């Protein structure tokens, strides 16, 4: 609005203080919108889902035009990403970076366009699982993208960073004050941090208390959550009651030791999965999120940064049934919404504790009410083993794995689950419900107890079908053992 009066200085001061006291950065929590699903929701439906729930920040993993364009005019602050497999090209060729900025940034920078805030060049590129493949290319790629943004006139507004996994730093004793960046990437991280500082860009880090619990059988479960009910760890007079704070401060110490104790930090991902592991269920996810939102609203930071105003992106928005399960079978169940945009459990993003179900996605089109199940009259189940094997190789049977929502089904139930999930992912093609004559299509809801037999949605696009098909043989072999 043109006529805004000059704000009296005293008010300006009050406003600043109020903003600083709030524990979550202005605009509230953001979410990660991943699209590795066999049947992704239409981008316009997802954008409305964000708006309906008052979510004003979103982080994407690429710059897919269809997805990004759907955010036009929404005023939603957006992080776009450059996938790891393109880092080498961007590192070697400034032109590549320049063309990317032209096609994927500049094109959206019109009045009423997209409010792009950050570009994450690479995603967890320094994970040890990548064997150093991206260590030498990430920083040069960041530099080239920054240069291209500057040249195009966007450098002031759009900051280049790189979302890093929390294993880029470590603390031998588990005390935050022992924290330091991993030796194999120490010098690279130092350069990156200097670069971020110079450009007023944040250090983006993904912090996962769930993984601490999952990876360490002796991990005290309460320490994964907020609320301080469990043990507390003393670090030179600073007391830690949860692993999130301890992890965050390990990063602060690591930064401090290389001379940047005040660098801005953004939590690129934080969340809790709800299926396919003993620790992944709705009860524990709700406990984690309740604690997280309360913390963010409380204005309390961490022992090292008591006044921290956190900027946080939840992981994730939707379940993604085509994600790699190498990190664990829970990997496809991180959504605060199901694959179809239905909320999983009550929450209050504002941290005020007024928990209620988030608003579900509107306008979602489902396929027919048809399920594929084991033929009821079939007595001899032996011939189904091969069929189940096949079904699970080309679909998503993770809910059947230990601790999963369908792990308690009997043998017949498990076979039906596998048949149905395959049938749905094949768009209910009748030929996908044959299985050597052991299967049949039914119209009565085949759901068994808490084990949802979903009806798939009408797909927004074919482009990810291939990804869905190129999935794990891993799931199935484990699962077949259970039959």
Ligand X SMILES: *[C@@H]1O[C@H](CO)[C@@H](O)[C@H](O)[C@H]1NC(C)=O
Site track for ligand X across 342-381, x = CB under 6 A = ---------------------------x------------
Whole-angstrom Cα distance, residue 332 to residue 37?
A: 9
Site track for ligand X across 52-71, x = CB under 6 A = ----------xxx-------
User: Which of the ranges 98-106, 164-172, 207-215, 418-426 carries the binding residues for ligand X, by CB under 6 A?
Assistant: 98-106
Q: In sequence order, what DSSP letters do the residues of 98-128 get, joined into one string?
A: HHHHHHHTGGG-STTS-EEEEEEEEESTT-G
Q: Give the list of residues 6+ apart from residue 329 with CB closer than 8 angstroms, or none.
A: 276, 277, 398, 401, 404, 475
Its sign, for the CA torsion 382, 385, 388, 394, is negative
Specify the residue, 173 or 445, whose C-beta has the smaller distance to ligand X.
Answer: 445
Q: Which of 124, 308, 331, 387 is catalytic?
A: 124
311 a catalytic residue: no
Of 326, 294, 321, nearest in space to 310 by CA: 294
Of 418, 405, 481, 412, nearest in space to 450 by CA: 405
Tokens of 370: 């048809």
Q: Which of 119, 284, 296, 439 binds ligand X (CB under 6 A)?
A: 284
283: contact with ligand X by CB under 6 A: yes
Q: Are 32 and 269 in contact (CB under 8 A)?
A: yes
294 a catalytic residue: no
Whole-angstrom Cα distance, residue 223 to residue 168?
A: 21
3-state secondary structure of 480: helix
Specify the residue, 135 or 483, whose C-beta has the smaller distance to ligand X.
Answer: 135
99: contact with ligand X by CB under 6 A: yes
Specify the residue, 310 or 334, whose C-beta has the smaller distance to ligand X.
Answer: 334
Tokens of 334: 């991180």
Q: Are 132 and 174 in contact (CB under 8 A)?
A: no
Site track for ligand X across 119-138, x = CB under 6 A = -----------xxxx-xx--
Site track for ligand X across 436-455, x = CB under 6 A = ---------x-x----x--x
Q: 236 to 275, contacts with ligand X by CB under 6 A?
A: none
Q: Which of 94, 195, 260, 279 binds ligand X (CB under 6 A)?
A: 279
What radius of gyration do the chain's Cα atoms show?
24
Specify the residue, 274 or 393, whose C-beta has the smaller distance to ligand X.
Answer: 274
Q: How far is the CB of 245 from ligand X (least distance, A)?
A: 22
Q: Are 439 and 375 in contact (CB under 8 A)?
A: yes
Q: 134 to 193, contacts with ligand X by CB under 6 A?
A: 135-136
3-state secondary structure of 165: strand
Count of residues near ligand X by CB under 6 A: 23
Specify the residue, 312 or 457, whose C-beta has the smaller distance to ligand X.
Answer: 457
Q: How far is the CB of 257 from ligand X (least distance, A)?
A: 22
User: Cα 422 from chain centroid?
Assistant: 25
Specify the residue, 434 or 452, whose C-beta has the smaller distance to ligand X.
Answer: 452
3-state secondary structure of 266: strand
Q: Which of 281, 302, 398, 428 binds ligand X (CB under 6 A)?
A: 281
Specify the residue, 85 or 200, whose C-beta has the smaller distance to ligand X.
Answer: 85
3-state secondary structure of 269: strand
**Which segments of 323-407 are extended strands (E)?**
371-374
Catalytic residues, by residue number, are: 124, 269
Return residues touching ligand X (CB under 6 A). 62-64, 99-100, 103-104, 130-133, 135-136, 278-279, 281, 283-284, 369, 445, 447, 452, 455
């Amino acid at each position: 609005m043109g006529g805004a009066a000059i704000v009296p200085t005293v008010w300006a001061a009050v406003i600043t203080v109020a903003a600083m006291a709030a524990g979550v950065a202005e605009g509230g929590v953001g979410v990660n919108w991943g699209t590795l699903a066999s049947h992704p929701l239409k981008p316009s439906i997802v954008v409305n889902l964000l708006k309906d729930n008052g979510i004003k920040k979103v982080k994407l993993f690429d710059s897919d035009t269809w997805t990004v364009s759907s955010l036009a005019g929404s005023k939603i602050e957006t992080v776009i990403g450059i996938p790891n497999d393109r880092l080498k090209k961007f590192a070697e060729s400034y032109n590549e970076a320049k063309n990317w900025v032209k096609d994927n940034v500049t094109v959206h920078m019109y009045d009423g366009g997209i409010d792009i805030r950050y570009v994450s060049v690479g995603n967890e590129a320094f994970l040890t699982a990548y064997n150093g493949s991206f260590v030498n290319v990430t920083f040069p790629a960041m530099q080239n993208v920054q240069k291209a943004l500057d040249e195009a006139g966007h450098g002031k507004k759009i900051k280049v960073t790189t979302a890093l996994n929390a294993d880029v730093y470590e603390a031998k004793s588990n005390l935050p004050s022992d924290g330091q960046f991993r030796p194999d990437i120490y010098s690279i991280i130092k350069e990156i941090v200097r670069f971020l500082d110079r450009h007023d860009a944040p250090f983006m880090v993904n912090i996962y208390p769930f993984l601490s619990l999952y990876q360490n059988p002796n991990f005290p479960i309460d320490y994964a959550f907020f609320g301080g009910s469990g043990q507390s760890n003393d670090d030179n007079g600073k007391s830690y009651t949860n692993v999130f704070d301890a992890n965050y401060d390990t990063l602060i110490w690591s930064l401090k030791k290389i001379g940047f104790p005040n660098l801005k930090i953004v939590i690129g991902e934080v969340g809790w999965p709800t299926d396919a592991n003993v620790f992944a269920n709705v009860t524990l996810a709700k406990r984690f999120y309740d604690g997280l939102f309360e913390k963010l609203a409380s204005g309390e930071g961490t022992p090292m940064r008591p006044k921290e105003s956190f900027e946080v992106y939840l992981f994730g928005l939707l379940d993604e049934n085509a994600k790699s399960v190498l990190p664990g079978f829970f990997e496809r169940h991180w959504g605060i919404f199901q694959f179809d945009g239905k909320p999983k459990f009550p929450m209050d993003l504002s941290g005020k504790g007024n928990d209620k179900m988030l608003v579900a996605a509107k306008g979602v089109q489902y396929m027919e009410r048809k399920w594929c199940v084991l033929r009821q009259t079939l007595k001899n189940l032996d011939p189904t083993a091969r069929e189940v094997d096949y079904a699970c190789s080309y679909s998503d049977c993770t809910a059947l794995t230990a601790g999963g929502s369908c792990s308690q089904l009997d043998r017949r139930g498990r076979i039906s689950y596998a048949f149905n999930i395959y049938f749905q992912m094949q768009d209910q093609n009748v030929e996908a419900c044959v299985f050597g004559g052991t299967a049949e299509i039914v119209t009565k809801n085949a759901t068994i107890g808490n084990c949802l037999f979903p009806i798939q949605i009408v797909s927004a696009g074919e482009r990810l079908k291939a990804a869905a098909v190129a999935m794990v043989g891993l799931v199935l072999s484990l699962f077949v053992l259970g039959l």
